[in-house]
Amino acid sequence: MGRNRRRGHGLGVRGFQAAVLAAVLALGVAACAGGAGRAGGPAATAPRPAARPPETAPPAPAWAPAGVLLDTIRAGRYDNGKMWTFEFPPVDYLRETHGFAPDTSWFRRARLGALRIPGCSASFVSRYGLVLTNHHCAREGVSKVTHAGEKLLDSGFYAASLDEERRVEEFHADQLLAVVDVTDEVYSALERVPEERRGEARDSILEAIEERSTRERGGEEAGIVVEMISLYNGGRYSAYVFHRYTDVRLVIAPELQIGFFGGDPDNFTYPRYDLDFSFFRVYGEDGKPLETETYFPWSPEGVEDGDLVFVIGNPGSTSRLQTMAELEFRRDVSDQGVLEFIRSRVAALQRFLKEYPVEAEALDIRNKIFSLTNSEKAYAGMLDGLRDPVILARRRDAERQFHDSLQSRPERREKHGALIDRMAELQAGKREVAPGFGAFLALTSEDYASATLRRALFAYQLLSLRERSAGEERLSGIQEQLLAVKDQPAALDEGLMQAAFEDLIRSYGRDSDVVRAVLQGRSPEGAASEVRAKSVLADSARAAAALERGALGPDDPALRVVAGYFARLQSFQQTVSQVFAEEEEVAAELGRARFEIYGTAVPPDATFSLRIADGVVKGYDYNGTIAPYKTTFHGLYDRHYSFAGRSEWELPGRWRQAPATFDRSTPLDFVSTADIIGGNSGSPVLDRELRLVGVVFDGNIESLTADYIYLPDRSRAVAVDARGILEALDEVYDADRIVLELTSQRLAPSEAEADRIRAAR
C-alpha cells in the first residue's frame, strides 16, 4: 500500500487505509510475510519534452441528466490534477493559462517560505520564525503543552510574551532546501540487478543515496534530513533535502469550538464559518527566534472574486494514476471495508468518551474521534464518487486513451502493452480474499485494537514458533512486542474487542466457520466481556508473569479467539503480500510509460512532498443555489443563533462578548479552484506577489473525489481568509504583539511592549 507515497509514510485518508493494512502485513505470520518491494524496471530516460495531454471534448458534468450516453463522455484535460512539482515548475502552463510568468527567484521564494510539519503543511509569515498553520494541525501540540489543571483545547492558548511560548516536544518543521533528480542513478544501478531481485535492491539503492546525500550536506548534526521521493509510481526519483527545525513553540491557538466551528456536520462543507488557524514559532540553535529572509508577507487586501491564487503545500496521497480495475476493487471491497471499520471504532470510542470522560481525556480520545470522523466522511464521499457512472466514464476514457498510446508503437506495445490487463488480474486475485479487507484491519493498532487481543496475537505466534523450535532471536522479538502492549481501561478494551468481533461477522457472516470458532455461540458483547474477565492477557503484569512461569497455554480464552481466525488471517496475508509486491512493479512500469508519453504535462500523484497548485477564487453552483466565494463573521454568528442549543455551533464566551469595534463584515473563509488533498491542511494561499491571503483547511463535500479525479467545476479548496485571522487576533484575542509582527515585521518581546509601540503610531 506504499505506492504513491514518499518512502515510509502515508498521509490523509488514503494513508489511513495504508496504516490499517500495514498492521496486518507487518505481523510476519505467513511464510511469505514481508512488505511489498519497491517497483523495478528498466532504466528511465531523461525527461522528455512535455507533451500535451490528449485533447478531449468538453466533459459532461458529473451530475449529467439521465439519458446521457456514458460512452460519449470524455476525460478532461486536467482530470489528473494540477499538483505541480518544484522539479518541473509549470512555467509554460502558467503563462498560457493565466498570463503570468514567474521566474526562478519566485519559485525559490515559494519553496523556502513553505514548511512541512507532522501530517500537515505550514509557512513562515514573519522574519522572526513565526509559522502559520491550521488549528487542527496543532491540536496534538496543544494537548502536549497543556499543564496540570489547564484545558487549553477548550479555552485556547496565547503566549503574551516570547518567554511564554511553549516548546512542543517531538515536533518539527521541515524546510525544503534542494531537490536532486537521481532517476538515472537509481536505474543505472538497477540494470545490474536481476529483475526478480529489483524490488529488494531498489530499497538498498535508495537508502544508500539518502545516506550519502545526508552526509554530503552536513548530516543530522547540521539539521539535514534527506528523503527519497518517488514520482509517477517510480517513474522518477528525487532526493529532497530538508533543514529540520526541532525547537518549535506554540504561540497561539484559538478555542477548539472556534477552530473546529460546526464540528462534524460542517466538516467538508461550504459555505463555511471556521477560524481554523494557529501560530507556532521556530527557534534557532541559540534559543532565540529564528531570523529568516524568506517568508510570506501578510496581505492587507486579501482576495476578490476571480483572483489568481497559489497553494504551496504537501498534499498527502492521491490515486489518480490507478487503473479502472483498481478503482473498482476499492469501490467494491477495500474502501468499503475501511469505512465500516472506521464507523465501528468511532462508535466504540464515543461510548467510552460518554461513560468515562475523565479517562478519555487523559487518553486523548476526543482527538482520535475527530481524526476518525474526518476519515469517515472522506471515505463516504470517495465511495459516492466511485459509484458515479459519469466519473467512472471519464476515468475509463482516460484509460482507453492511455491504452491506445501504449499499443500505438511496437516498442511500447512490447514493453508495456499487457500491464493494464495484468493489473486487472491482480485485483481479481485480491477479490478471492475480499472479506479480509474488513475483518483484519489494524489488528496491532494501539489506538483501535483491544490490548488483550493484541497480546493474544503475539502470544499465539510465540507459542507456535516455540513448537517449531524457532530461533531465539525471533522468539525474543515477538515476546518484546507482546510485553510492550500497554494496558487499556477495561471498558475501552472490551469495546474495541467487541468491535473486532463485529468486523468478523460483517465480513464473513454470522454462520461462517471462522465466526463460530471465535464466538462459540456468544454475542460479540458477551464474548468480549468473558475474554476480558478470564484471560491472563487482559493485564500486562499478569501476562508477563505467565510468560515468565511458562504458564501461558492454548486454553487461554484470548488465545482461543486468535486460534479461531488465524488460518484465515494467514491466507489473507499470503495473498495480499504477493499481490501488493507485483502491484508495485506493474504500477511503476505504468508510471514510466505514462511519463514517456505525456512528460510533465500530467502531474504525478501526491506523495506528501512539496507541490504548487494554481487556482482561481470562485464560487460555484450547489444545492440549487450559489455558494459565494467568501463568507464573513456575520455568518458565524448566524450559525450560532440559528442552531441555538446545538454544541457544534455554540460560540465560546469571548466571541459572544466581542467588543463593539469587532467588524463582523470581515471576510472569514473563501474558496478557490486550487487542487488540494489531505496533507494540504495548513498550506499558505498566496497571491501573485507571494503575499499570504489565506490558509487552506478543508475541501468542500464535492471535492472528496479528488483522490482519483480533479473536477474544478465543483471541487473547491476552503481557506481561512487572512483578513479574518487578523481581525480576530486584534479584536477578540487582543494579541497585539502578533498583529504588530504580521503587519510591520517588528518583534515585540511582550504584549505590553506591543501595546506601547502600537499606541505610539
Calpha distance 228→495 (Å, rounded): 40
User: Where among 585, 615, 649 does a domain terminate?
Assistant: 585
* Range(s) of the domain holding residue 505: 12-41+321-585
Same domain, 265 and 387: no
Q: With respect to residue 642, please indicate whether it lies within any of the assigned structural domains.
A: no
Same domain, 392 and 536: yes
Q: With respect to residue 516, please indicate whether it lies within any of the assigned structural domains.
A: yes
351: nearest Cα among 489, 515, 445, 505: 489
Q: With respect to residue 438, please indicate whether it lies within any of the assigned structural domains.
A: yes
Same domain, 425 and 527: yes
- Span 198-236, pLDDT tens digits: 777 888 999 999 999 999 999 999 999 999 999 998 888
Cβ contacts of 565 within 8 Å, gap of 6 or more: 439, 440, 504, 514, 517, 518
190: nearest Cα among 596, 588, 593, 600: 588
Q: With respect to residue 476, please indicate whether it lies within any of the assigned structural domains.
A: yes
The pLDDT of residue 21 is: 59
User: Where among 552, 585, 618 does a domain terminate?
Assistant: 585
Q: What is the mean pLDDT of residues 350-367?
A: 94
Q: With respect to residue 600, please indicate whether it lies within any of the assigned structural domains.
A: no
Same domain, 137 and 28: no
39 pLDDT exceeds 60? Answer: no
The pLDDT of residue 267 is: 94
Same domain, 254 and 338: no
35 pLDDT exceeds 80? Answer: no
38 pLDDT exceeds 70? Answer: no
- DSSP code of 36? P
The pLDDT of residue 145 is: 97
Same domain, 331 and 480: yes
The answer to pTM > 0.95 is no
Same domain, 135 and 36: no
The pLDDT of residue 562 is: 97
C-alpha dihedral over 643, 645, 649, 651, to 10 degrees? 120
Of 198-212, 624-638, 673-687, the one with minimum mean pLDDT is 198-212
- Span 564-618, pLDDT tens digits: 999 999 999 999 998 998 898 899 889 989 999 998 888 999 999 999 999 999 9
Q: With respect to residue 479, please indicate whether it lies within any of the assigned structural domains.
A: yes
132 pLDDT exceeds 70? Answer: yes
**Residue located via cell numbers 516548546:** 167
Calpha distance 521→516 (Å, rounded): 7
Q: How far is CA 604 from the centre of its chain?
A: 17
- DSSP code of 164? G
Same domain, 410 and 524: yes
Same domain, 328 and 280: no
- Span 271-321, pLDDT tens digits: 999 999 999 999 999 999 999 999 999 999 999 999 999 999 999 999 999
727 pLDDT exceeds 70? Answer: yes
23 pLDDT exceeds 60? Answer: no
- Span 68-105, pLDDT tens digits: 688 889 999 999 999 999 999 999 999 999 999 999 99
The pLDDT of residue 525 is: 97
Q: How far is CA 307 from the centre of its chain?
A: 28
- Span 40-58, pLDDT tens digits: 222 233 333 333 344 444 4
The pLDDT of residue 730 is: 97
The helix (H) or strand (E) run that includes residue 35 is: none
C-alpha dihedral over 747, 748, 754, 759, to 10 degrees? -60
Mean pLDDT of the chain: 90
367 pLDDT exceeds 90? Answer: no
Q: With respect to residue 739, please indicate whether it lies within any of the assigned structural domains.
A: no
Same domain, 277 and 330: no
Same domain, 481 and 346: yes
411 pLDDT exceeds 70? Answer: yes
Q: What is the mean pLDDT of residues 663-685?
A: 98
Same domain, 393 and 524: yes
The pLDDT of residue 6 is: 37
Please answer whether residues 350 and 323 qualify as being in contact, where contact means their C-beta atoms are separated by less than 8 angstroms. no
* Number of independent structural domains in the chain: 2
- Which one is predicted more confidently, 145 or 468? 145
User: Where among 585, 618, 648 does a domain terminate?
Assistant: 585
Q: With respect to residue 3, please indicate whether it lies within any of the assigned structural domains.
A: no
